[in-house]
Structure 1
């Protein structure tokens, strides 16, 4: 998996990997974070061969969002924060 982290050199920006037992669990948790914080929606779920569980990546910012909204619409989350599976 590759992640675009070009914005992480700026103060207040973070990248978070969420690990859980199954895809529904990690996606539900990622969306819950996005609804309550200035956090992007989750990237594509992935598994690590030989390890149990599923992972997703989200990006966030310490600055509060202007208004609560749907996942992926955090006001201060950098546009370049996207998770992509390797091709």
Structure 2
């Protein structure tokens, strides 16, 4: 799997500048190198959110995007009060 490197985030940042944007979201099904993360964190003139494959899958599950319920489990607990002497 190819990790997204800082040069790719820098290129994205430049594309945002070309459009006059101050915010952007860089989404990948892969992951980001530490250098790419540090670059995005150091930016002062704009905000770039990095979403990797793990974060993307969590968001998909949280917001029911592209997923469906396959199985449901019931977890039961013992009612201890039921067994107490009256």
- TM-score, normalised via structure 1 length: 0.26
Higher relative CO (CA 8 A, sep ≥ 6), structure 1 or 2? Answer: 1
Larger CA Rg, structure 1 vs 2: 2
Instruction: Say which structure is richer in strand.
Output: 1
**Alignment TM-score, normalising by the size of structure 2:** 0.27
Give the helix-richer structure, 1 or 2: 2
